[in-house]
Amino acid sequence: MTKIAIITASTRPARAGAHVAQWVLEQARKRGDAVYEPIDLAEVDLPPIDEPFPPATGRYTQSHTQRWAATVASYDGYVIVTPEYNHSFPGTLKNALDRVYAEWNNKAAGLVSYGVDGGVRAVEALRPVLGALQLADVSAQVTLNLRTDFADFGASVTPGEHQGPALTTLLDQLVSWSSALARTRGNPS
């Protein structure tokens, strides 16, 4: 069965991303079309890049990089839950993406963003990075606005009625693409 990671990109204390990722996970698990598992970058031990060789070589010398490579490699696709920080996405996410290379290749990603304007600039900054990693980002996305889709400016997520169908479309595309791309990697998912 197709295996999808839901990655929480923010590592800030009291972050809204943990609530968003939990909402995504709960909705996704109701579907039964894939295995959905959470990955929280706040719990992953990834210091700034400290590898002597470029990630494209696949020569990972640090145990934390080797663990991360195995984690990334074990999934067919990803839902990336990201805030918008200063018109982009968090450095912790960039570090996690840049740390390994081949493990991301020929897989799919769906983007769920949040921020004062729904995190749309974070998504637009993220798309070229995903392309460079040979991660196919699906066109459907979920953009949660801190003013309208959260209570207490991020303390809890209360998505508007339109967000559920948007997430369904994103997950439909993600599972379809992840399954199709698995065949290009020799996996029959």
Render pLDDT for 79-115 as a digit per residue (tens, 0 to 9): 999 999 999 999 999 999 999 999 999 999 999 999 9
| Domain spans of the chain, in order of start | 3-184
Name the average pLDDT for the chain.
95
Render pLDDT for 21-68 as a digit per residue (tens, 0 to 9): 999 999 999 999 999 999 999 999 899 999 999 999 999 999 999 999
CA distances from 132 to 1, 15, 126, 136, 146 (A): 27, 28, 10, 10, 30
The arrangement of secondary structure in 3-184, i.e. its CATH architecture, is 3-Layer(aba) Sandwich (3.40)
